[in-house]
Amino acid sequence: MTASGSRLRRLICRACCSEFDPNELRGPCPSCGHTLLADYDLKGLDGRVWWRGLRDRPPGLWRYRELLPVADSGAIATLGEPTTPAFRLGPPSEGVRSGLWAKDDGALPTGSFKARGMTVAVSRARELGAQRLFAPSAGNAGIALAAYGARAAIPVVVYLPERVDPRTAERVRGYGAEVVRTGATIREAGAEARRREAARGFDLSTLREPYRVEGKKTMAFEIAEQFGPEALPDAIVYPAGGGTGLVGLHKGFEELRALGLLERSPRLIAVQSEGCAPIVEALREGTPRVRDWSEARTVAPGLAVPSPFSSERILEAVRASRGGGIAVPDSAIVAAGHDLARRFGLAVAIEAAATWAAVPALHSSGVLREDERTLLYLTGRGDG
Ligand SMILES: Cc1ncc(COP(=O)(O)O)c(C=O)c1O
Ligand SMILES: [Zn+2]
């Protein structure tokens, strides 16, 4: 074994305050069914020394290995994840605020930010002895799971809703994974997956195991390194579906604050489609958890999550950051996708286009002030 230096010490449930040994495979909290989150021994780590030492490490998310859960570096299944580019959107012109930046996770293996969660969760599942992995997916998570499963030599089954583009199924199969097409949305596909697989496989569904969030939190670490504590964005506009991205961003910034490396966190702004906006609705209504969305209908498959699991954690992340949310019509999302390509040369996934679609409404509704330094999180690559 090559020790990674991981400072993981326990899993905790924020809902019922139980704690668990992290060295066995675990799904949701055995006591109450909510999400378990990884907790690290941060007190034993000199934040400033650690942060300075990162300069000498290769790019990519595994540079943060002390704050990731894998104990044996030999268990890591990596595809050479780069640190993804962050840059100012410009040149400044009409309609483009001077304080607008983008971070482009389309540069990751398989073309989306889902690679972050999967490289970490698949590696940790391998370390803990998982023999078979499964998850429901709208597409990108399944493609990433299939790729990292291949890299780790663990069989993978992906449950895709029936409406998902057949090309997505082909991409998943291309990595040697099995595909089951079932159900109208990811909710039904997930229920069927658990019915069929629970006895033989390990469930990597969004927020039902602790470690995809750990991969996602490296979005916050990279942003902090790329912008620096003084020039951190004031707000991050993020396309929300299952919510791991928001939970991960929040957790990452909180850990950096606990290490004394940041004084403040950016405000997290959730963007959804008007055709499926349970998180935005709950933020508006001030409820502790989301209400199921009855008819999920949107052009953005990754945003079609009618009942996100452990939504308390998602809402908590947005609220703790003093953030907010907004829903945009599908027509604006599609138009924003074209606009990003024509105006900036960025061909992004339809979910990511929602961030750009949201900017005018965020300004006019006052959720975002025009003088706030704003980062659009572009979660995936388009076909262009
Ligand atoms: C490109 C893209 N962006 C955003 C999301 C939403 O992800 P989450 O809310 O789980 O972070 C997805 C999920 O499928 C996606 O594929
Ligand atoms: Zn619990």
Mean pLDDT in residue range 342-357:
96
Considering only CA atoms, which of 166, 155, 158, 164 is closest in space to residue 196?
A: 158
Atom from ligand 1 closest to the CA of residue 314: 9
Domain assignment present for residue 208? The answer is no
Q: Are 341 and 352 in contact (CB under 8 A)?
A: no
Distance (angstroms) between ligand 2 centre and the Cα of 157 equals 27
Ligand nearest to the CA of 15: 2
- Given ligand 1 and candidates 35, 114, 164, which is best to mutate, with the most ligand atoms within 8 Å of its CB? 114
Torsion of CA 174, 179, 184, 185, to 10 degrees: -70
Which ligand has the minimum distance to the alpha carbon of residue 349?
1
Measure the CA–CA gap between 42 and 218, rounded to whole angstroms. 16
351 lies in a domain? yes
Q: Is the CB of 304 under 6 A from ligand 1?
A: no
Backbone φ, ψ for residue 103 (5° rounding): -125, 130
CB 352 near ligand 1, within 6 Å: yes
The verdict on the CB of residue 140 being under 6 Å from ligand 1 is yes
Query: What DSSP line would sit under 240-263, residue for residue?
Result: -SSSHHHHHHHHHHHHHHHTTS-S
Evaluate if residue 384 carries a pLDDT over 90: no
Distance 143 CA to ligand 2 centre (A): 30
Task: Give the pLDDT score at 96.
Answer: 54
Say if 321 falls within a structural domain.
Answer: yes
318 Cβ below 6 A of ligand 1: no
Q: Is the shortest distance between the CB of 141 and ligand 1 below 6 Å?
A: yes
Ligand 2 center to 21 CA (angstroms)? 14
Do 54 and 130 have their domain in common?
no
In a domain, 2, yes or no: no
pLDDT-derived band at 92 (thresholds 50, 70, 90) equals: low
Residue 80 lies in a domain: no
Residue 366: pLDDT band (50, 70, 90) is very high
The answer to whether position 383 is within a domain reads no
Q: What is the pLDDT of residue 157?
A: 98
Domain assignment present for 224:
yes
User: In total, how many domains does the chain have?
Assistant: 3
237 in contact with ligand 1, CB cutoff 6 A: no
Domain boundary residue among 151, 183, 203?
Answer: 203
| pLDDT for position 91 | 53
The SS3 call for residue 327 is strand
Both 346 and 326 in one domain: the answer is: yes
Domain boundary among 203, 231, 263: 203
Structural domain of residue 70, as residue ranges?
A: 8-75
**98 pLDDT higher than 90:** no
The answer to whether residues 331 and 182 belong to one domain is: no
Measured in Å, residue 229 CA sits from the centre of ligand 1 at 26
Please identify which residue in the block is written with the tokens 């082909």: 170
Report residue 90's pLDDT band, with 50, 70 and 90 as the boundaries: low
The two beta strands, 374-378 and 19-20, are unpaired
Average pLDDT of the chain to the nearest whole number = 95
Are residues 374 and 315 part of one domain? yes
Taking alpha carbons only, the member of 222, 184, 178 closest to residue 200 is 178
- Which of 203, 237, 259 is a domain's end point? 203
Nearest-CA residue for atom 14 of ligand 1: 302
231 in the same domain as 170: no
| Residue 371 scores a pLDDT above 90 | no
Token pair for residue 182? 């079932």
How much is the pLDDT for 93?
A: 54
The pair of three-digit structure tokens given for residue 184, joined into one six-digit string? 């109208």
What's phi and psi for 179, nearest 5 deg?
Answer: -120, 135
Ligand nearest to the CA of 12: 2
Q: Do 105 and 118 fall into the same domain?
A: no
Using CA atoms in the order 45, 49, 51, 52, what is the torsion angle rounded to 10 degrees? -170
Is pLDDT at 139 greater than 70 in this prediction? yes
Please check whether residues 218 and 361 belong to one and the same domain: yes
Strands 324-328 and 267-273: parallel
Q: Where are the alpha helices (DSSP H) in 20-78?
A: 47-53
Separation of alpha carbons 169 and 85, rounded Å: 29
Q: Which is the closest atom of ligand 1 to the Cα of 239?
A: 4
Over residues 310-337, mean pLDDT? 98
User: Which of 35, 103, 112, 186, when mutated, tests ligand 1's pocket best, judged by the most ligand atoms within 8 Å of its CB?
Assistant: 112
Q: What is the pLDDT of residue 370?
A: 83
Cβ neighbors of 295 (< 8 A, separation 6 or more) are 275
Q: What is the pLDDT of residues 220-238, one digit of tens each?
A: 999 999 999 999 999 999 9
Same domain, 320 and 368: yes
Instruction: Give domain status of residue 3, yes or no.
Output: no
Q: Could you tell me if 120 and 106 lie in one domain?
A: no
Q: Is 138 in the pocket of ligand 1 (CB under 6 A)?
A: yes
pLDDT of residue 97 exceeding 80, the answer is no
State the CATH number of the domain containing residue 153: 3.40.50.1100
pLDDT by residue (tens digit) across 19-68?
999 999 999 999 999 999 999 999 989 999 999 999 999 999 999 999 99
Q: Are residues 40 and 121 in the same domain?
A: no
pLDDT, tens only, 272-284: 999 999 999 999 9
pLDDT band for position 316 (50/70/90)? very high
User: With bands split at pLDDT 50, 70 and 90, how would you rate the model's confidence at 158?
Assistant: very high
Sign of CA dihedral 253, 257, 262, 266: positive
Containing 38, the helix (H) or strand (E) segment is: strand 36-40
Residue pair 304/298 in contact (Cβ under 8 Å)? The answer is: yes
Specify whether 298 is located in the same domain as 371: yes
| CA 302 to ligand 1: nearest atom | 14
On whether the CB atoms of residues 204 and 236 are closer than 8 A, the answer is: no
Do 256 and 194 belong to one domain? no
351 CB near ligand 1 (under 6 Å): yes
* Per-residue pLDDT tens over the stretch 70-79: 999 999 999 9
Q: Does residue 310's CB lie within 6 angstroms of at least one atom of ligand 1? A: no
At 383 the pLDDT is 78
